Amino acid sequence: MSISVDGKFYICGVLSLEDYSQLYQSHNDYFLFGNGLSIGFCESFKYSSLYKVCSGEEDGFDAIFSDKEIELFNGFRTENFEWVLYALNLAEDVNAIVEVDGKPIREHYNNIKQALLKAVHKVHIKYEDTDFEEIELLNNLFKKFNKGIFTTNYDLIPYWTLNHNTDGLCDVFFGSNSTFDVTNTEVRDYNTPIYFLHGALHLYREDGVTIKLRRNQGTDLLTRIEQTMTESKTPLFVSEGRNEQKLKSIASNDYLNHCYNQLKNASGGITIFGSRLGSEDKHIIEAIKHSNIRNIAYSIYMNNDEVTREIEVTVAKIRREFAHKNVKFFKHGSFLDYFKKEIQVNQ
């Protein structure tokens, strides 16, 4: 049972969901966001949409998956890539134990990972088609956080937001030719750094160096990414189904490892938006649990202000995971509303 009092939602008599305006001051050191934020710019970033592109169900797209890979998703009755990748990992382990050839499983696993990457690129909204007012809002929103921005997203929305106005924001690609240099990561001049925890379309690795792609004169960034992909330069993507494999991929890359360490070393308050923090993101949870973060504000997506059983389960799970932290929950819609009002007041 849920009731609303003064804009605050109570679940089973326990205060759970608040308006973000009441939380910002104690949760403005760091901002962690997931796919829920980018979906607001492009609905095609949903797993359901990406699956339709890969399976050939979406008009105008040839199938990327093989028939067998489509059967896998249908068999598991899901459109969630990470769940299928996780299942394939388990199957590979079983095959190894019973001494069955695991090569076909590994091939499907790699094909699905590559298909996800290609699908994100194929459906990606063009820069000129974005809502520039929304990009500007997001740019100003980023600057409202004092110590750092973390994202698990692969798309270009965060990068475009950074480049919209770099005053007060930065990434850590301070090396020559937009490369990452682990010895040159100091953030200066009161900038708020943005960290791509799982990589992104505009990042790739060559000769042991992580490089940031930039648009060239006359060539937009999406086209440049396509060109690098045809040159077998794969974007830096962490899309493994298992949490421990994600950690292994992160540890093997100096840039990703640096980003992850920044999260582990965070302190103060953090706002988490558009991220379900499922089992595949256990490493994110563990980093925050063992950090000096004390205050956590976690967004809850509500449809028509209805508190569902799913929301109750999510609230209980997040409370359990962060039992030793001060956790508050807020209605996702109040988040952008707060910043829109704040920015209008300060203009």
Are 191 and 63 found together in one domain?
Answer: no
Are 333 and 209 found together in one domain?
Answer: yes
Cα angle 251-256-259, degrees, rounded to a multiple of 5: 115
Mean pLDDT for the stretch of residues 108-133? 88
Question: At residue 33, does pLDDT exceed 60?
Answer: yes
Pick the closest to residue 239 from 54, 56, 59, 66 (CA basis): 54
| Best mean pLDDT range from 139-143, 264-268, 300-304 | 264-268
Residue 185 makes CB contacts below 8 A (sequence gap 6+) with: 172, 174, 258
Stronger pLDDT, 305 or 289, i.e. the higher one: 289
* Count, residues in the chain: 347
Question: At residue 231, does pLDDT exceed 60?
Answer: yes
Are 91 and 160 found together in one domain?
Answer: no
Burial call 230-255: b when 16+ CB within 10 Å, e when fewer: eeeeebbbbbbbbbebbbebbeebbb
Question: At residue 161, does pLDDT exceed 90?
Answer: yes
Are 135 and 112 found together in one domain?
Answer: no
Give the domain range for residue 32.
2-43+131-346
Last residue of a domain, one of 123, 149, 177: 123
The residue with tokens 């990042």 is 203
Kindly state the helix (H) or strand (E) to which residue 141 belongs, with its residue range.
Answer: helix 132-142
3-state secondary structure of 152: coil
The confidence score (pLDDT) of residue 172 equals 94
Question: At residue 306, does pLDDT exceed 80?
Answer: no
Q: Are 126 and 157 in contact (CB under 8 A)?
A: no
Mean pLDDT for the stretch of residues 230-255? 87
The confidence score (pLDDT) of residue 185 equals 94
pLDDT more than 70, % of the chain: 92
Mean pLDDT for the stretch of residues 38-62? 87
Beta strands in the chain (DSSP E): 2-5, 8-11, 14-18, 30-33, 148-151, 169-170, 192-196, 199-206, 209-212, 235-237, 267-273, 292-300, 326-331
Mean pLDDT for the stretch of residues 330-339? 91
The residue with tokens 């690795």 is 205
Are 209 and 226 found together in one domain?
Answer: yes
Binning pLDDT at 50, 70 and 90, where does residue 9 land? low
The confidence score (pLDDT) of residue 189 equals 77
What is the per-residue DSSP string for 263-293? Answer: HHT-EEEEEEES----GGGHHHHHHHHTSEE
Last residue of a domain, one of 123, 158, 178: 123
CA pair distance 234, 228, nearest whole angstrom: 7
Binning pLDDT at 50, 70 and 90, where does residue 307 land? low
Are 118 and 201 found together in one domain?
Answer: no
pLDDT more than 90, % of the chain: 48
Binning pLDDT at 50, 70 and 90, where does residue 218 land? low
What is the overall mean pLDDT for the chain? 87
Are 195 and 287 found together in one domain?
Answer: yes
Are 211 and 306 found together in one domain?
Answer: yes
Are 184 and 299 found together in one domain?
Answer: yes
pTM above 0.85, yes or no: yes
The confidence score (pLDDT) of residue 21 equals 94
Last residue of a domain, one of 71, 105, 123: 123
CA pair distance 136, 140, nearest whole angstrom: 6
Report the domain count for the chain.
Answer: 2
Are 217 and 265 found together in one domain?
Answer: yes
Pick the closest to residue 298 from 320, 268, 325, 318 (CA basis): 318
3-state secondary structure of 239: coil
Binning pLDDT at 50, 70 and 90, where does residue 13 land? very low
Binning pLDDT at 50, 70 and 90, where does residue 47 land? confident
Question: At residue 224, does pLDDT exceed 90?
Answer: no
Are 104 and 23 found together in one domain?
Answer: no
Are 206 and 328 found together in one domain?
Answer: yes
The residue with tokens 């710019």 is 41
